Amino acid sequence: MVDHRVSSPDAGPDAKCSDDARLARSGTLSIPALLLDEIRRHGQSAYPEECCGLLVGQVEPSAKRVVALRRAANAREDSRHNRYTISPGELLQAEKAASESGLGVIGVYHSHPDHPARPSAFDQDHALPWYSYVILRVERGMPAELTSWTLREDRSGFDAETIETRKDPATGTGSSGRTRSTPAAVRSDTPADTGVREGD
Ligand SMILES: [Zn+2]
Residues, beta carbon < 5 Å, ion ligand 1: 120, 123
CA–centroid distance, residue 87 to ligand 1 (Å): 16
- Blockwise average pLDDT, block size 10, the chain, 200 residues: 39 38 63 97 97 96 94 91 92 96 97 97 93 98 98 94 85 42 37 43
Q: pTM of the entire structure?
A: 0.73
The amino acid sitting at 97 is A
CA–centroid distance, residue 195 to ligand 1 (Å): 20
The amino acid sitting at 32 is P
Which residues have CB under 8 Å from 193's CB, separation 6+? 17, 160, 162, 186
Residue 59, strand partner residues? 64
DSSP SS3 for 64: strand
Residues 40/163, Cβ–Cβ less than 8 Å = no
CA–centroid distance, residue 90 to ligand 1 (Å): 19
Neighbours of 175 (CB within 10 A): 10
CA–centroid distance, residue 82 to ligand 1 (Å): 7
Q: Which CATH superfamily is domain 23-197 in?
A: Cytidine Deaminase, domain 2 (3.40.140.10)
Q: What is the pLDDT of residue 10?
A: 38
Q: How many helices (H) and strands (E) does the chain have?
A: 4, 9
Q: What is the pLDDT of residue 26?
A: 56
